[in-house]
Structure 1
Amino acid sequence: MRMLICGGGTGGHLFPGIAVAEEVLDSVPRSEVLYVATERETDAKVLRDKPFPFVVLKSEGIKGKTVRQKLGALLRMPASLWDAWRIISRFRPDVVLGVGGYVTGPPLLAAWLRRIPTCIHEQNSVPGLANRLLGRLVKRIFVSFPGSEQRFPARKCFFTGNPVRKEVRALSGGEKIGDNFTLVVMGGSLGAHSINTMMMEAAQIMRTTVPAGFVVIHQTGRQDSKSVRQAYKEAGIPARVASFFSQMPFVLAKADLVVGRAGATSLAELTVMGKPMILIPYPHAADNHQEINADWLVEAGAAIKCREDETSGAELAALIVELADNDRKRREMADRAHRLGEPAAAKKIVRHCLDLCGDNAIM
């Protein structure tokens, strides 16, 4: 099977695509994968060491843009479609999978015009604009949250869960790495300035209240790494701070508690690994999907939700200390999170893609 996977711009779109690509290469004889990504630095950083090639497609989104930017994106669309057509002509895929982001549109449209089987994966509880439009064209739609199929043609929808990378699956359900109590703070692959700010305030309060052996691992994004590192230093809290951790699954394996956003891919990895969470949904996410993502885990007892505009650093500090001191509560949250995980999501998607390919699947 020759599979073309398109999507990117954030880790939330890249990592599910990578998980499916890895599963194809591991489980389908004589298979090949080509990944179509955006021009963003994040895409190249994440994809450069993977066991499959990737190409960059120039394209632009329109949601949340000014009128002038939207016009520019629309004018660019024919060139993007032509570039996607040429990529497909060279690679000759048997199936094309879109995993989210504006870069998915041109390859899926080009494949549809050439009658190549197409499918999409929707990570979030509320589908984005691109996937809602593409859902009318593709053969199959894979969803990650119960209820999101209501926004697509029902006959095309299949619940698979959100694919997670091999490294995450390998660490699923295993013992925590390390003896210290470890708090992992993450704002997604691009960081989160407001979470960084709250944690800098919280650090000054926690300096005298956290248990012995308390350490922090904090992914800040490029903007705040120096100031966050200094805040922990001044508070006397041992901390490992970086703008980006390329081996995040191994970082999460050390976590006793995680503070972060409620992006679907992060939640998928955290549930598979069975980690208790304090979630601070990004308030400006499209269609408020992070809030809805978080509610799913809160209702299951796997997470606690804090609204960004209603939570101070002091309140966050108090919640972290409360959970750090309550092993029973954390274990209960971890168990409920683990029950929600879908470690076989990538396998399910690959099976569907093999079915779409028919006789071409193992040629």
Structure 2
Amino acid sequence: MTDVPLILLAAGGTGGHLFPAEALGTVLMQRGLRVRLVTDSRAVRYSGLFSKDMIDVVPSETVRGRSPWALARTGTMLAAGTIKAFTLIKRLKPTAVVGFGGYPTLPPVFAAKLAGVPTIIHDSNAVLGRANRFLSSRVSAIATSLPGVLDRDPALASKTTVTGTPMRPAILAAAAVPYVAPDAQGPLRLLVVGGSQGARVMADIVPGAIERLEPALWNRLVLVQQVRDEDMARVRAVYDRLKINAELAPFFSDLPRRLASSHLVVSRSGAGTVAELAAIGRPSILVPLPGAIDQDQFANAGVLSAVNGAVRIPQVEFTPDRLAAEISALAAEPSRLAAMAAAARSVGRLDAAERLADLVGKVAGI
């Protein structure tokens, strides 16, 4: 087995980074290569392609403030992680290291550069993330999910390939389910999710919006909503009072299947979520996370709203009245929902993992 090339995948411990890594790993293994995951401690709780004996945990830290103490802590943790990653790379002798963003990517990719191992970074966002921006001038190749991300920097654009976001098998299976618009009097399946950490704003706004809908819509709604434990009681109380058919949970392990069965999705607009909505082809109302330095979620949502595949609502405008108006308008026009689904699907890439695997093979010389 030691003669079989090893590809080291580096990803932060959230689904938005881990799922593309898992999708690429699946394809690389199908091509007869070995893969391992280098990540932070959060990833240990994720199940999927990477069993515990395929995971190496390397210390890392996100920039959490601009105080000298905070910056010193971050620098110390990243330095410690780089030293551990360098030792790991010297022992494992990978053919290439592929990073998927987030600060946990920095130590292994930077260590690989120091060790002379070919490196690739992949970014799913419409705006390059901070960790990947730091690494971009130092790596052998860059893969992006969307075109034009680095067009303003010729030096980086020359080594950039647009691959799309690699999709795990569950998303590919969901993408095979055709969208069927709701009947004018039939069930309206609404899915509300808030990203990997949930979103309090969904608990604050969605119940009030549902309450403002016409009672005839209450009887049609089949609502599935991600709700954090601390918000569960107050959200459930509203839906019970209105007699809404609602399923509430802090986490859904079968989210791809639920996306596929939905008529409309209300969500944050993280890169992974937007890519999955496009791959599966589902209409959505997207509420970008405010306050981000790069406004990456606003840009991500713009990819779908630009083709009329989604309605983008800045959080400052995301009120119960506005959301109720949008849901009511879409429920009254099933043909518009179908058109939005087709538009979203038009920008999806189902072969992204294969494209990225091709790039890895090219850079690694295998």
Query: Do the two structures share a fold, i.e. TM-score over 0.5?
Result: yes
Which runs of no fewer than 5 residues in structure 2 stay unpaired? none
Partner residue of 2:217 out of 197, 210, 232? 210
The residue number in structure 2 matching 1:292 is 299
**C-alpha distance after superposition, 1:306-341 (max 9, x if no partner):** 111122112202211221221100000000000100
User: Quick one: distance in 1 between partners of 2:146 and 2:83?
Assistant: 34
User: Quick one: distance in 2 between partners of 1:35 and 1:84?
Assistant: 12
TM-fit CA distance, 1:196: 1.9
Partner residue of 1:269 out of 272, 276, 281? 276
TM-fit CA distance, 1:356: 1.6
Contact 2:179 2:338 survives alignment (8 Å): no
Q: Quick check: 1:257 aligned with 2:256? A: no
The residue number in structure 1 matching 2:351 is 344
Aligned partner letter, 1:35: L
User: Quick one: distance in 2 between partners of 1:23 and 1:188?
Assistant: 26
Partner residue of 1:247 out of 241, 248, 254? 254
3-state secondary structure, aligned to 1:336: helix
Partner residue of 1:21 out of 13, 19, 25? 25
TM-fit CA distance, 1:85: 1.6
Q: Quick check: 1:99 aligned with 2:103? A: no
Q: How does 1:53-72 map to 2 (within 5 A)?
A: 53-62=54-63, 64-72=65-73
Q: Quick check: 1:32 aligned with 2:39? A: no
User: Quick one: distance in 1 between partners of 2:44 and 2:207?
Assistant: 30
Q: How does 1:55-134 map to 2 (within 5 A)?
A: 55-62=56-63, 64-134=65-135
Q: Quick check: 1:174 aligned with 2:181? A: no
The residue number in structure 2 matching 1:7 is 11
Contact 1:257 1:277 survives alignment (8 Å): yes
With normalisation by structure 2, the TM-score equals 0.91
Contact 1:276 1:333 survives alignment (8 Å): yes
Q: In structure 2, do the counterparts of structure 1 residues 223 and 316 end up closer, same or farther at CA, with 3 Å as the change threshold?
A: same
Contact 1:10 1:190 survives alignment (8 Å): no
Q: In structure 2, do the counterparts of structure 1 residues 39 and 312 end up closer, same or farther at CA, with 3 Å as the change threshold?
A: same
Aligned partner letter, 1:336: A
Q: In structure 2, do the counterparts of structure 1 residues 293 and 64 end up closer, same or farther at CA, with 3 Å as the change threshold?
A: farther
Structure 1 stretch 292-301 or stretch 145-154: which is displaced more? Answer: 145-154
User: Quick one: distance in 1 between partners of 2:218 and 2:210?
Assistant: 13
Partner residue of 2:342 out of 322, 335, 350? 335
With normalisation by structure 1, the TM-score equals 0.92
User: Quick one: distance in 2 between partners of 1:22 and 1:224?
Assistant: 37
Contact 2:179 2:341 survives alignment (8 Å): no
Contact 1:167 1:249 survives alignment (8 Å): yes
Structure 1 stretch 263-272 or stretch 60-69: which is displaced more? Answer: 60-69
The residue number in structure 2 matching 1:50 is 49
The residue number in structure 1 matching 2:286 is 279
Contact 2:218 2:244 survives alignment (8 Å): no
Contact 1:128 1:286 survives alignment (8 Å): no
**C-alpha distance after superposition, 1:49-95 (max 9, x if no partner):** 42552222221022655432111111222211111122223332111
The residue number in structure 2 matching 1:303 is 310
Partner residue of 1:357 out of 355, 359, 364? 364
Which runs of no fewer than 5 residues in structure 1 stay unpaired? none
3-state secondary structure, aligned to 2:151: helix
User: Quick one: distance in 1 between partners of 2:13 and 2:230?
Assistant: 18
TM-fit CA distance, 1:282: 0.7
Percent identity (aligned)? 33
Partner residue of 2:332 out of 318, 325, 335? 325
User: Quick one: distance in 2 between partners of 1:144 and 1:65?
Assistant: 30
Q: In structure 2, do the counterparts of structure 1 residues 3 and 223 end up closer, same or farther at CA, with 3 Å as the change threshold?
A: farther
Contact 2:58 2:104 survives alignment (8 Å): yes
Contact 2:78 2:106 survives alignment (8 Å): no
Structure 1 stretch 57-66 or stretch 156-165: which is displaced more? Answer: 57-66
Contact 2:37 2:50 survives alignment (8 Å): no
User: Quick one: distance in 2 between partners of 1:67 and 1:221?
Assistant: 34
3-state secondary structure, aligned to 1:351: helix
Aligned partner letter, 2:71: K
> How many residues in Structure 1 have an aligned counterpart in Structure 2?
354
User: Quick one: distance in 1 between partners of 2:45 and 2:232?
Assistant: 18
